[in-house]
Structure 1
Amino acid sequence: MTEELLSAAEVAAYLETYDKFLDGTISCGAKRSDLGAGEARKGTVENITQIMWPSALLPVLRAAPFHQRALRLVRDLLGEDMDLDFDMLINKAPHSDTPTPWHQDCAYWIDLPDKRAASIWMALDEATLDNGCMWYAPGSHLQPVRPHRSAGKGGGALSCDGDESEAVAVPLKPGSAAIHGGGTLHYSRGNKTAGHRRAFILNFRPAAMIRLEREQGMDHGLTDNTRKVRSAAAK
């Protein structure tokens, strides 16, 4: 499903903040990485810029409209016990032309007894076929999780088999968002245009499951725990 969450004025304010993350005004340290590191770099910035935990780097974001409205929406959909698990920024720079691999978010996560989860993917630029709008495979969340593998040397991204023929493209206007579950198969094309494709993503799950994750060392990059948990699981 899709929702319009921000006004034009609010989008403009978020873009001003977003660009401070991208240009280094807000230092991101190890929370900034290249999701497209498996491919040769096409410019001077990352192929796909990922910044984990913007709300930890700039805590005022937690009280801003996107986080607050998204939380209310997810609680209406999945229950009052839902809470923010983590957030991230993903930008595709002009002419970077690097696809985000087919994947299911749950492939990145540890197994939890309560599978309720929702990712809210909000466009801050118009998301189009040419700059990398999202594609979702309807009904894929009802099927077994597909085998995943590393998307390429040097990157932390995972990929699985998928094809546009089984999916639906979801172009979005700035301030609108798409909502999907952890088992939903999705991907996006690369950005072939002269503009950015800036997205802000929030991930939610039950508060009790967030506590269980943290007890097991999974915090999605807030510290270095997540890297250690994944390394142990791979052995």
Structure 2
Amino acid sequence: MTSTIARNRLDAHTFTGPGPELRASFAENGFVLLDGALDAAELEAIRTEAVRFCRGELGEIIGAEDVARSDTSGLSDEDVLRQFLCIHQPHKVSDVAMRLLRHPKIVSVMTDVIGPNVKSMQSMLFVKSEGRPGQPWHQDEFFIPTRDRSLTAAWIALDDATVENGCLWVLPGSHKRGVLYPDRKQDDPRFDCSIEAYDFPYHDEDAVPVEIPAGTAIIFNGYLLHRSLQNSGKHGFRRALTNHYMSAESLLPWAALPADTHIGKHDYRDIVLVAGEDPYAYKGTEDIARPHSRPDKDGGCDRW
């Protein structure tokens, strides 16, 4: 799957669990690989759940109304999956996705690199079938702002992720400055409707392709520059489950600011506490986000 040179380059970033070496590597490079984050049974469970999502068995998916109105009974599971690029917030309606959001092996690493109190606010189930686009260079903190730079992603490969099928590429160390680079709209056919970060002091030649086997997770900092390219169409799906975490001590100024809320106390409360205590538990939690489909350019970027 991976060249010897590339594999050796990634071996230095690969760990089986938390510890001082993992923390040091994460701090220096902005990412680590967690070997065997999911076992074979867990992989099969979330792949099966993806089909149920795409067949509408778990309820409405906003942005996929055309699919919901169609009869998928005559379609194979693969053809049903191919109608989607990514489903946001699967944990809101799926017990399987919620269990993986709280997965002990992943949460143990999150408490190691974030701190003892950790909450989550987002999950994403990427399908990315043959020919479907990737995402341009971006930083997750642009989309999910925290108050303490604690945003951390767990990107879990549900299929072997390779250069050919559109694996992640990362710019090691690009998180260190802790700044968000300029952004712009882009019309590159290799990418979906996402914005593109630019004018940063790195080059494409500095990037590392993160080719990993199914079940491995890449844990990365919210300021790390990363992207993915098109699935070349030669080897089927490149499915992945991505969950986002942050410190429970941080407010989450996400979504629109309510009219009666001071900007300093803006706090999105549709969260799941996965470890420790929530200092803001007195605020309660809300059920705001619903599962929705991410459009690629063919789906119309005006829907995004």
Identify the TM-score tier after normalising by the shorter chain.
Answer: 0.7 to 0.9
Q: Which residue of 131, 153, 159 maps to 2:196?
A: 159
2:138 aligned with 1:103: yes
Partners of 2:144 and 2:106 lie apart in 1 by 21
Q: Do the aligned partners of residues 129 and 109 (structure 1) sit closer, same or farther apart at CA in structure 2, a change above 3 Å counting?
A: same
Shift, 1:204, TM fit:
0.4
In the alignment, structure 2 segments of 5+ residues that lack a partner are 1-31, 66-78, 256-264, 272-287, 292-304
Relative to its length, the structure with more strand (as a share) is 1
What is the DSSP-based 3-state SS (H/G/I as helix, E as strand, rest coil) of the residue aligned with 2:142? helix
Partners of 1:148 and 1:44 lie apart in 2 by 34
Match in the other structure for 1:16: 48
Q: Which residue of 68, 73, 88 maps to 1:52?
A: 88
Q: CA RMSD in A?
A: 3.1
Highest Rg: 1 or 2? 2
Q: Normalising to structure 2: TM-score of the pair?
A: 0.61
In the alignment, structure 1 segments of 5+ residues that lack a partner are 34-42, 225-235
- Equivalent position amino acid for 1:179 in 2: I
CA-to-aligned-CA distance 1:10-47 (integer Å, 9 cap, x gap): 211221112222333333422769xxxxxxxxx99878
Which range moves more in the overlay, 45-54 or 160-169? 45-54
Partners of 1:47 and 1:84 lie apart in 2 by 28
Q: Which residue of 110, 121, 132 maps to 1:85?
A: 121
Q: Normalising to structure 1: TM-score of the pair?
A: 0.77
Q: Do the aligned partners of residues 198 and 28 (structure 1) sit closer, same or farther apart at CA in structure 2, a change above 3 Å counting?
A: farther
Is the CA contact 2:137–2:197 (under 8 Å) kept in the aligned structure 1?
A: yes
Runs of 4+, deviation exceeding 6 Å: 43-48
Match in the other structure for 1:208: 249
Partners of 1:47 and 1:137 lie apart in 2 by 31
Partners of 1:81 and 1:217 lie apart in 2 by 16
Match in the other structure for 2:33: 2
Q: Which residue of 178, 188, 191 maps to 2:228?
A: 188
Is the CA contact 1:82–1:207 (under 8 Å) kept in the aligned structure 2?
A: yes
2:168 aligned with 1:134: yes
Partners of 1:12 and 1:66 lie apart in 2 by 17
Q: Do the aligned partners of residues 213 and 128 (structure 1) sit closer, same or farther apart at CA in structure 2, a change above 3 Å counting?
A: same
Q: Which residue of 63, 80, 93 maps to 2:99?
A: 63
What is the DSSP-based 3-state SS (H/G/I as helix, E as strand, rest coil) of the residue aligned with 1:140? coil
Q: Percent identity?
A: 26
- Equivalent position amino acid for 2:206 in 1: E
